[in-house]
């Protein structure tokens, strides 16, 4: 740094995860990010960005560093902190580094620092050779759900796209996380016009992204970019209406309140508050959900086991936990049974994963795939395959073939593109029947 120039570090990460000043001073801050030596960088797959973004290794963490304007960096840092407090899926802000100059004293852009989201991928890195229609639909559904969650909290995104989100596998589906909040605004609530404008931005951006992929032969030939981009509007509106629309019923049909709440629970939402008002002279009632909170299954699993996973993963693990309780410990309450399931089923499975395979997938995703694999083995063998037998087969035949989704390629000569498009065998879709259970 040049003499007389003050380097400013705004830091406030969660749970002690803020970047240390000493660690920052070890970085080549007097160079543009594009010129940083490879020894500082982690070769992880990157999405498309209008800014220069690099993954950087620091003690105890990998961070994404983005060069931008000072105002934009502080604005995005503040928004991400607010969204994290609201428990909206987004990357964790770590610091803003400003006041950088070259060795000659020329100013350099401010940098926003966020923690790398483990096991996450930009949408281009989700597939291998071609993006299939099914995978594309699941990505768009995940983005629609994220947009609904943001809008419920009063957040206007302003630049909705596949590129501005990261995706984590979630028991056959995907979970989307906001990664770029630079154009965002947080309000008390959003008008219909603001929500529809975000939707239109999403439609246009997704259509453009798919046209770009189509031009490179990276999506199936029969995928219509314009028609496919409309999927997010249908998915968003259907979910928004289910979560927020009024429901009218007669005074004698109060059971429909519980039915509506149960349906929302199945979608993964808790109803924290609702309003009832009379209609038509008191012969009818109108139910209006007031506060809906995503993460119903995630919270239940965490309450029972202490495990914090994605929503669909939680749904899948809870199903296995409930089966385990019914078959192995039918006399125990769910908290006691959950303890035994965690110590007798989940933890031994995690411990059995060899060290060199631990970076392949999150443990909860491995558990989901293991349960799926057991079902396929049982179907093929026409008998109930034990979990241990399925685990042996899965570790020998399935998991080693997957790419490392949490791996950091430390070889500076490795191409970034090679980290984006490795072979990736998708989990086959689940059949309608549930797999046989044999704990």
Q: Which residue has the higher pLDDT, 182 or 14?
A: 182
Q: Where are the domains of the chain?
A: 8-115, 123-242, 248-289, 297-405
CA-only gyration radius of the chain, Å: 24
Task: Estimate the share of the chain in helix, then strand, then coil, as percent rounded to the nearest 5.
Answer: 45, 20, 35
Instruction: Tell me the per-residue pLDDT of 305-364, one tens digit each, with 9 for 90 and over.
Output: 999 999 999 999 999 999 999 999 999 999 999 999 999 999 999 999 999 998 889 999
Among all chains, which residue has been given the structure tokens 């950087």? 56
Distance (Å, whole) CA 238 – CA 203:
16
Structure tokens at 332: 């125990």
- Residue 65, classed as helix, strand or coil, is strand
Are the beta carbons of 286 and 246 closer than 8 angstroms? yes
Task: Give the pLDDT mean for 176-199.
Answer: 95
Instruction: Tell me the per-residue pLDDT of 115-128, one tens digit each, with 9 for 90 and over.
Output: 999 888 888 887 65
Do 123-242 and 8-115 have the same topology in CATH? Answer: no
Task: Give the pLDDT mean for 376-405.
Answer: 89
pLDDT bucket at 205, cuts 50 / 70 / 90: very high
The pLDDT of residue 423 is 32
Are the beta carbons of 45 and 126 closer than 8 angstroms? no
The pLDDT of residue 263 is 86
The dihedrals phi and psi of 218, each to the nearest 5 degrees, come to: -105, 5
Choose the most confident range, by mean pLDDT, from 43-52, 263-272, 355-364.
Answer: 355-364
pLDDT bucket at 269, cuts 50 / 70 / 90: confident
Distance (Å, whole) CA 353 – CA 392:
10
- When mean pLDDT is compared across 102-116, 128-142, 353-367, the lowest value belongs to 128-142
Architecture of the domain delimited by 123-242? Orthogonal Bundle (1.10)
pLDDT bucket at 45, cuts 50 / 70 / 90: low
CATH assignment, 8-115 = 3.30.200
pTM for this structure? 0.81
pLDDT bucket at 26, cuts 50 / 70 / 90: confident
Query: Dihedral of CA 383/385/389/391: which sign?
Result: positive
């Amino acid at each position: 740094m040049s003499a007389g120039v003050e380097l400013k570090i705004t830091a406030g990460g969660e749970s002690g995860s803020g970047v240390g000043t000493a660690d920052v001073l070890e970085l080549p801050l007097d160079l543009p990010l594009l010129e940083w030596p490879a020894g500082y960088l982690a070769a992880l797959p990157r999405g498309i960005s209008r800014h220069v973004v690099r993954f950087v290794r620091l003690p105890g963490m990998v961070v994404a560093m983005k060069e931008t304007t000072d105002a934009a960096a502080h604005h995005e840092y503040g928004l991400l902190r607010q969204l994290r407090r609201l428990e909206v899926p987004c990357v964790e802000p770590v610091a803003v580094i400003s006041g950088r100059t070259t060795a000659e004293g020329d100013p350099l852009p401010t940098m926003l620092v966020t923690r790398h989201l483990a096991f996450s991928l930009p949408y281009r890195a989700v597939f291998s050779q071609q993006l299939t229609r099914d995978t594309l639909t699941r990505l768009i559904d995940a983005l629609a759900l994220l947009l609904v969650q943001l809008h419920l909290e009063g957040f206007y995104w302003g630049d909705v796209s596949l590129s501005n989100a990261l995706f984590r596998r979630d028991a056959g589906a995907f979970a989307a996380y906001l990664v770029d909040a630079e154009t965002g605004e947080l309000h008390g609530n959003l008008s219909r016009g603001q929500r529809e404008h975000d939707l239109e931005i999403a439609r246009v951006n997704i259509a453009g992204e798919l046209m770009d992929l189509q031009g490179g032969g990276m999506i199936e030939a029969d995928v219509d970019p314009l028609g496919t981009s409309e999927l997010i509007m249908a998915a968003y509106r259907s979910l928004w209406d289910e979560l927020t629309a009024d429901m009218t019923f007669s005074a004698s049909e109060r059971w429909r309140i519980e039915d509506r709440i149960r349906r929302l629970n199945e979608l993964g939402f808790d109803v924290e508050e609702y309003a009832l008002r009379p209609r038509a002279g008191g012969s009818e009632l109108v139910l209006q959900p007031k506060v809906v909170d995503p993460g119903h299954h995630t919270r239940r699993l965490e309450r029972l086991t202490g495990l914090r996973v994605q929503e669909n993963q939680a749904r899948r693990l809870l199903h296995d936990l409930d089966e385990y309780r019914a078959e192995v410990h039918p006399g125990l309450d769910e908290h006691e049974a959950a303890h035994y399931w965690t110590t007798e089923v989940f933890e031994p499975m995690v411990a059995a994963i060899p060290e060199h395979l631990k970076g392949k997938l999150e443990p909860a995703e491995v558990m989901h795939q293991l349960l799926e694999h057991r079902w396929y083995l049982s179907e093929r063998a026409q008998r109930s395959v034990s979990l241990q037998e399925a685990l042996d087969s899965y570790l020998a035949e399935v998991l080693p073939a997957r790419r490392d989704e949490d791996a950091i390629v430390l070889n500076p000569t490795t191409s970034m593109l090679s980290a984006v498009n490795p072979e990736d065998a998708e989990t086959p879709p689940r059949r309608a029947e549930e797999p046989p259970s044999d704990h």
